[in-house]
Chains A and B, each alone.
Chain A
Amino acid sequence: MIPASGENLIFRLLRTVGQRIVFLAALLAQCVPSLARPRLIVLQVYNAGARSLIIIMLSGLFVGMVLGLQGFDLLQRFGSEDALGVAAALGLLKELGPVVTALLFAGRAGTSLTSEIGLMRATDQLTAMEMMAVDPMRYVAAPRFIGGIIAMPLLAAVFNLVGLFGAQLVGVQLMGVDRGAFWSQMQSSVELDDVSEGIIKSCVFGLACSLIAVYEGYHAEPTAEGVGLATTRTVVASSVLTLVLDYMLTAAFL
């Protein structure tokens, strides 16, 4: 929303945050009733999740392979190449998996959510639903929001798995790290807390990215230009928020 002139920066910031929190509350209130139409949610899980699978797997593979190369180069200097499995697993589980997945999600699924809802707004579809006493929050916004929250942790898990495979591919097949040491050191050093930290992070990112995407679409200016601007704002805000939240969550977990 464009703030009225004369308001200072802090006031604008507070208002921006507040608007999203109010929207989140309204959205959460509609989440339970929208569960009565699981079909709509399944469609959104498909749109946000299943259709992002290829890009997530491809990115995961290459991120894992880079991690394998860089990790090997670094650990070799200390004569501890066997710790490559631990390094790759912790790097993927705790940081790269959730964060890169969220960034890709913002670019792949977030933009399509925003432009879809924005275009519905621009073509008065949302208004038409209101006229028919059909709550667009319940039937348009909430299923997309829930779909995004469901899809994100699953995408992050797939990303981690493929990334580990990529790290293993480079570390073991290419660089000659002992396969047994790679896995056994990984299994003995990784704790359940490390895995759950990554899962919690990806759930939080899923909530944040879906909220921003749905909010921006819902409040897009009903013009072609407005929808374009809203889509840009989604990507920028989701990416920055993901990185900021990542720092805060990491600090909270350590």
Chain B
Amino acid sequence: MRPTRTLEVGTGLFVLLGFAALAFLTTQLPSSGIKFVGKKAGYHVTAKFDNIGDLKTGSPVSMAGVRIGEVERIAFDPQDYKAAVTLRIDPEFKQIPDDSDASIQTQGLLGGKYVGIGPGGSETYLKDGSQIPFTQSAIVLESLVNKFFANFASRGEDSGASNGAGKNGDSGHEPGKETQK
């Protein structure tokens, strides 16, 4: 065992590096892992949704397609059976009207869900701790399809065979906006 020092230092370095990589991969990558990343700056607003689909912690929050923050926490509110979503908005986007609406949308064809904020017309702005009053849930494709067929069938019974009836019915109607204040 000629260069004992090199051997020991090299092995130590290799094993430490290997375990550090393993630790990073197991804790930082998976959604179930522990995050060591420090708290990011910004202010928090909440919004309650009937259904959040597969929105996850860390999903982006965007306004007019520009990313302005991310979903920080998702909780279930047992009082009104809704999902209480806490959004962290980056500090530079301070002027969001407090009557804005939040909707859950899908990125691209295969993309994940994100929260889109549509601006309202109020002169007062959202601040830390405030709640977005108007929300629109994720569109669940199955229920949309069910609605369409239910609609189509009932129309068919009412007015005979009118083929186009389902198209301009409320099959495309979004699950309504609801006020929470």
Which residue numbers of A lie inside 8 Å of B, CB to CB?
39, 42-43, 45-46, 49-51, 53, 75, 78-80, 82-83, 89, 93, 150-151, 153-155, 157-158, 160-161, 178, 180-181, 184-192, 194-196, 198-199
Contact = CB atoms under 8 A, between A and B. Distances in A.
B-side interface size class: 35 or more
A188 B60 CA distance: 12
A251 to B, nearest CB: 22
Interface string B68-103: 001000000000000000000000000000000000
B112 to A, nearest CB: 6
B1 A186 contact: no
A82 B108 contact: yes
Given A83-B110, A83-B112, 18 more contacts: A45-B11, A46-B11, A79-B108, A80-B107, A82-B111, A83-B111, A154-B14, A154-B22, A186-B29, A187-B28, A188-B59, A189-B31, A189-B112, A190-B29, A195-B25, A195-B29, A198-B25, A199-B26
B30 A195 contact: yes
B145 interface: no
Q: Is the interface of A mostly helix, strand, loop or mixed?
A: helix
A195 B28 CA distance: 11
Contacts of A195: 25-26, 29-30
A46 B18 CA distance: 12
Contact of B30 (A43, A50, A191): A191
Nearest to B112: A185
Q: Can you list the 8 inter-chain pairs with the closest CB atoms, starting with the nearest?
A: A154-B18, A50-B14, A184-B58, A157-B21, A79-B108, A188-B56, A50-B10, A161-B21
Contact of B29 (A79, A80, A158, A187): A187
Contacts of A188: 31, 56-59, 112
A84 B175 CA distance: 31
Nearest to B29: A190
B25 A43 contact: no
B58 to A, nearest CB: 4
Contacts of B56: 188
B17 A158 contact: yes
A80 B21 contact: no
